[in-house]
Amino acid sequence: MGTASPVVKIVAVGGTTRPNSSTEKALRQVLNAAEALGASGLLFSGADIDLPMYQPGIADRCERTVRLLEALREADGVIIGSPGYHGGVSGLVKNVLDYTEDLRSDSRCYLDGRAVGCIGTGAGWQGAGSALTGLRAIVHALRGWNTPIGLTVNTAEPAFDDEGRWIDPKLADQSALMAEQIMRFAWQSRALAAAGGAPAALAE
């Protein structure tokens, strides 16, 4: 009898300290799409990411930080979302990502070996695009594999219905594609590892 494959774990992180922000809704939509493909999803937003300012060399970590870092450590794929603040990523989200320095000594340091989908939101396309560009640069620095598709959400236009679902079917399609790319990378990485190889770029 064959052994069932381990569940793919996807962690979504970002948004603002305000519960149910537009960025959090966008993260949920991609995470829901990944779960529909069989993933086990975990979302960190709102109070979950309201962490003390990161300080290098300080070993003490609050319970929220430990929980987030353990989830990222075990993740097979990651989704990151940030609102655009003054031409870039919000300080809140950047602070969360700075804590990944605690993963530097792991066998998979930082976000290595994981596909990462990035979402930028903003009250206009310029802010959303700047946030997305900033996130993709950070993911690259953290050794993650950016998914070919990234999402920009203009919150100056109606984006979500009363249930938090996409109004625009194009955004729904893009969310599904991002989830598929993250999942496919995770499956391929596991297959390569089982065969004695190393994770490779997402095949298109």
Q: What distance in Å separates the CA atoms of residue 25 and residue 47, rounded to the nearest whole number?
A: 15
The SS3 assignment for 105 reads: coil
CATH number of 9-194: 3.40.50.360
Sole residue written with tokens 């700075």: 98
Q: pTM score, two decimals?
A: 0.92
Torsion of CA 156, 157, 162, 164, to 10 degrees: -80
So what's the pLDDT on residue 57?
Answer: 84
So what's the pLDDT on residue 69?
Answer: 97
Q: Residue 157 is encoded by which pair of tokens?
A: 């236009």
Read off the pLDDT of each residue in 78-100 and give the average, rounded to a whole number: 96
Domain limits, the chain: 9-194
71-87 confidence digits (pLDDT tens):
999 999 999 999 999 98
Q: How far is CA 105 from CA 55, 75, 159, 177, in A?
A: 17, 16, 40, 32
Read off the pLDDT of each residue in 118-134 and give the average, rounded to a whole number: 97
Where is pLDDT greater, at 195 or 140? 140
So what's the pLDDT on residue 189?
Answer: 87
Residue 201 carries which DSSP code? P
So what's the pLDDT on residue 200?
Answer: 43
Where is pLDDT greater, at 176 or 191? 176
Q: Residue 194: phi, psi to the nearest 5?
A: -65, -30
Q: Is the pLDDT of residue 1 over 60?
A: no
Read off the pLDDT of each residue in 22-51 and give the average, rounded to a whole number: 97
Q: Residue 117 is encoded by which pair of tokens?
A: 């989908």
Give the residue ranges of DSSP H helices in the chain.
22-36, 63-74, 91-98, 125-141, 169-194
